[in-house]
Structure 1
Amino acid sequence: MKTVARQRGRASDIDPVDIAVGAHIRALRQARGISQSALGAYLGVTFQQIQKYKTARIGCRPAICIIWPHI
């Protein structure tokens, strides 16, 4: 049996915590003048992952939430 990853399709599927974390990542990144590509490279993820965190399409990994403020 194949398992298919389900993407969040509706606004009701998005956790408010993910929205807040994504907004915080975006605000800090912009305040520090860091591009999504540069931030992704530093954290070991693609810029597409950073975009998905920012828009709350996927939840941010806890390790990234811990490392990010110290950049």
Structure 2
Amino acid sequence: GFCGIFLPCLLACKVGVEYGECCCVPFLPGALVAMRTGLREQLRIKGCVCCDWVAFCCCCPCALCQMARELKSPC
């Protein structure tokens, strides 16, 4: 939603905290892909690391919104 499109940095921080990490972790290179992969495996969602990487490279706001939804984080 709104946060993913207009405030992706804020949503990344919220997702990081909801995932159980420091709010600064999403700004480390590769951390969002690692969190997405971990969340996908934790929730047994089909996919692969390559797909996680492509999701963030092609549409980071969409990938963040998906993660927020899976974590049930209000946006």
* Structure 1 length-normalised TM: 0.38
* Structure 2 length-normalised TM: 0.37
More helix by share: 2
Bigger radius of gyration, 1 or 2? 1
Using CA pairs below 8 Å that are at least 6 residues apart, which structure has the higher relative contact order? 2
